[in-house]
Structure formats: structure tokens, C-alpha cells
């Protein structure tokens, strides 16, 4: 009798652990995929609209990509191809290729 109870506890604990890990993994992969797709959308828009050394505000990027400003700021800060302005106009973003050519 006790061995049946112990087996049931072990099976329940291992099943719960596997389910918890699976849920965490799916959430993690979903977040990474969402970040990738939204970062690509921002990157493409910024590459087209920051030509000639134009810097774009977080609000402008958010407006054109239909993302919240906080999300745009977070994604822009993570992307290696997007550069933050450090000149007189702080808080502006530009695609590294477009603004690098004008910085030289």
C-alpha cells in the first residue's frame, strides 16, 4: 500500500516538473521569437527612414511600427545595428550603417 502511494507521489512530482519546464520553455521561445520579429520590423523601418544621417525619435519609431514607446526603447537598446544619439539631440535612434556614414 505504501509503495503505491510513494509511486503516485513520484509520478505526480515528475509529471508536474516536466509540465512546468515545458511551459517555461514555450514562454521563453515565444518571447525570443516576438523580440526577433519586432526588432526586425524596427530595424527595417529605421534603415529606410534614417538615411542621410537622420536620427529618429522613439515616438516616431513607435508610431510607424505600432509598438509602445517603452517596447521600442527596449528593443532599440538591445539591437547592435541601432545606435543611440549622444550628441545635442539625445534620445534619438539611427541605423548604424546610415548614421555611421555621416559621422565620418
Please give the model's pTM, rounded to 2 decimal places: 0.76
Position 52 confidence tier, pLDDT thresholds 50, 70, 90: confident
Q: What range does the domain containing 60 cover?
A: 2-103
| pLDDT of amino acid 1 | 62
Residue 99 has pLDDT above 70, yes or no: no
Q: List all residues 6 or more positions away from 89 whose beta carbon is below 8 Å from its beta carbon.
A: 55
DSSP β-bridge partners for residue 34: none
Alpha carbons 63 and 72: distance in angstroms, whole number: 10
Instruction: Write the CATH number for 39.
Output: 1.10.10.10
| b (16+ CB within 10 A) / e for 47-65 | beebeeeebbebebbbebb
Structurally, the chain folds into a number of domains equal to 1
Q: Among the listed ranges 26-40, 43-57, 85-99, which one has the minimum average pLDDT value? A: 85-99
**Share above pLDDT 90 across residues of the chain, in percent, rounded to a whole number:** 55
Amino acid at each position: 500500500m505504501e509503495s503505491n502511494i510513494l509511486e503516485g507521489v513520484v509520478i505526480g512530482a515528475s509529471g508536474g516538473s516536466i509540465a512546468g519546464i515545458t511551459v517555461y520553455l514555450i514562454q521563453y521561445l515565444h518571447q525570443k521569437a516576438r523580440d526577433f520579429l519586432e526588432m526586425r520590423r524596427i530595424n527595417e523601418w529605421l534603415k529606410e527612414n534614417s538615411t542621410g544621417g537622420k536620427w529618429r525619435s522613439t515616438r516616431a519609431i513607435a508610431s510607424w511600427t505600432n509598438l509602445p514607446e517603452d517596447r521600442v526603447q527596449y528593443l532599440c537598446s538591445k539591437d547592435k545595428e541601432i545606435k543611440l544619439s549622444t550628441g545635442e539631440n539625445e534620445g534619438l535612434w539611427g541605423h548604424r550603417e546610415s548614421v555611421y556614414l555621416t559621422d565620418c
